[in-house]
Amino acid sequence: MKLNFIKQNSAMKIFLSALFVILSLSIAHAETSAEYNNLGIKLAKKGETEQAILNFNKAIELNPDNAKAYNNRGQAYITQGNLEEALQDFTRAIAVDPSYAKAYNRRALTYYELKDYENAWADVRKAESLGAMVNLDFINELMQATK
């Protein structure tokens, strides 16, 4: 009887150990600012915006100079309809990296949505001067809005 219990107990330990390994591998783990930013991107692509923002927050906490994390969190805020917060994050990304064309591009779109066409045009010009391709449909919409 005792030998049977020991065999069952050992089998249970092996099963639980295997389960732990499987669960550990399925949970994304991040340690650096870049890793949290990348995890946030993956979550945002899956539509898990709240979780993505939490990861972008952690990326920024670990490295307040991570312009990409600010930019990505700004995009997540746009997904939620939080344009003012998005605008702040794009502005922070630009403050950290004034040559970050993608942040100017996204901020231009945000200004447009906020009907601040003058600043939208300024950011379009800046993004283009940094080599970014600005969507022609967006430029046409902005031209129509400023007529």
What is the pLDDT at residue 30?
75
In a domain, 136, yes or no: yes
- pLDDT bin (cut points 50, 70, 90) of residue 40 is very high
In a domain, 33, yes or no: yes
In a domain, 121, yes or no: yes
CA dihedral sign, ordered 119, 147, 129, 136: positive
Q: How many domains does the chain have?
A: 1
- The pLDDT tens digits for 93-113 are 999 999 999 999 999 999 999
Q: What is the rounded distance in angstroms from the CA atom of residue 78 to the CA atom of residue 47?
A: 13
State both tokens at 112.
Answer: 């447009």
- The pLDDT tens digits for 2-27 are 545 445 566 667 766 655 544 443 34
In a domain, 23, yes or no: no
The domain spanning residue 38 has which CATH number?
1.25.40.10
Domain of residue 50, residue span: 29-145
Q: pTM for this structure?
A: 0.79
